[in-house]
Amino acid sequence: MLENSVLAEPVIYVNGRFMTQPLSGVQRFALEISQALARISRADGQPAPIMLTPAAPCEQAMAEDQPRRAVGRRKGQMWEQFELPRAARQGVLLNLGNTGPLWGGPRIVIIHDAGVFSQPGSYSWKFRLWYRFLHTVLRYTHARLVTVSRFSRMELAKYLRIPAERITVISEGAEHIAGVAADPAILARFGLHPQRFVLAVGNLAPHKNLARLDALARALGARGIPLVISGSVNAAVFNAKAGQALPNPAIYVGRVTDRELRALYEAAACFVFPSLYEGFGLPPLEAMACGCPVVAADIAVLHEICGTAALYADPTDPDAIAKAVLDVLDTPSSARDMRAAGKVRAASFTWDRAARSLLDVARSLTP
């Protein structure tokens, strides 16, 4: 709902630019944590943060009781750099999606990873140039930097050349996927049968590493079990020309709704996540929350997130990935144990806990 202008200004604002963008990992984080911020603020007897959005149409649905104000006439980066900081000058501004104004009052900027520095080939040159500039300049401002994993904190400290202590770590949550009803119609639409397919979620950016699932796709095909891939590519962000061919054979279902995604997670015999680089790695946690065994890339951040609840494989070795997945399929007792352990692991990550940590940082900056 739009905020009534006669109400007193709250202390905390949220940069709502993400509301005008298609839903992907960063927008998912921003949407879920902004809703959690409103919940726990009210539970504390404090006013909920006000969402400041451009006048452009919103792509994301928002809770009816989330205070919102449309400000300015511009959109995109021009809105964020010039109109947003003026609108938020009386409070602390939370920027949840990698970017934020370079000037203005107290503000927090959440940078999810250092991918534009460490994985340059995955991003379009315009996106890479702007984000490198923005993140580098932010280190010289009074903005408080926050990220989503200990791994990302070390990466950002390295590339921005700042002490790791300047970066606060919060986390993410996975309970959103359990909050929607599964839509099994997607299974019928693609001829999928429960426990008779393996699922991967990602886009065609090189660091997502889907091409190295080719050996797995062939091994599964020999058993009459399809590899199912969900995801899409935003050409404005990722380097589509450097994208990779899909494994063959595979069923590509494209972008799906949350309800369809839950149905896929719950019906899959195994979820495989071969990514070479992540700031957090939410899909494996979502899969665990839905009771799906997870085979993850053997990289530091996924060990941090998945712990001992996942099986790991060298993401540069297609045969190792295939073997790990087939081991899950061929050992029902191990798969059963992984389902149970995964649910416990996923339950330890909640949006409310992440929002509480973020609110603590924001309130420490309150003017």
Higher pLDDT, 139 or 335: 335
| 251 closest CA partner among 272, 228, 269, 267 | 228
Distances (CA, A) of 126 to 112, 146, 201, 237: 19, 24, 25, 8
- Could you read off the pLDDT of 117-147 as tens digits, one per residue? 999 999 999 999 999 999 999 988 888 999 9
**What does the alpha-carbon distance between residue 243 and residue 256 come to, in Å, rounded to a whole number?**
20
Distances (CA, A) of 215 to 199, 254, 321, 325, 364: 15, 21, 8, 11, 51
Backbone angles phi, psi at 148, to 5 degrees: -115, 0
Strands (E), the chain: 12-15, 50-53, 68-70, 92-95, 107-110, 144-147, 167-169, 198-201, 227-230, 251-254, 270-273, 294-297, 311-313
- Could you read off the pLDDT of 56-65 as tens digits, one per residue? 767 666 666 7
48 touches 42 (CB < 8 A): yes
Beta bridge partners of 294: 271
The lowest-confidence range among 79-88, 191-200, 239-248, 271-280 is 239-248
Domains of the chain, with CATH numbers? Answer: 12-173+350-364 (3.40.50.2000), 181-347 (3.40.50.2000)
- 345 Cβ neighbours under 8 A, 6+ residues apart: 285, 288, 306, 307, 309
Q: What is the DSSP letter of 235?
A: T
Backbone angles phi, psi at 19, to 5 degrees: -70, -20
Task: Count each helix (H run) and each strand (E run) in the chain, helices first.
Answer: 14, 13
- Check: pTM over 0.85? Answer yes or no: yes
**What does the alpha-carbon distance between residue 15 and residue 47 come to, in Å, rounded to a whole number?**
16
What band does 244 get if pLDDT is binned at 50, 70 and 90?
A: low
**What does the alpha-carbon distance between residue 330 and residue 324 come to, in Å, rounded to a whole number?**
10
3-state secondary structure of 255: coil
What band does 169 get if pLDDT is binned at 50, 70 and 90?
A: very high
Give me the helix-helix angle, 282-289 and 258-267, nearest 10°: 70
- Could you read off the pLDDT of 87-119 as tens digits, one per residue? 999 899 999 999 999 999 999 999 999 999 999
**What does the alpha-carbon distance between residue 280 and residue 173 come to, in Å, rounded to a whole number?**
11
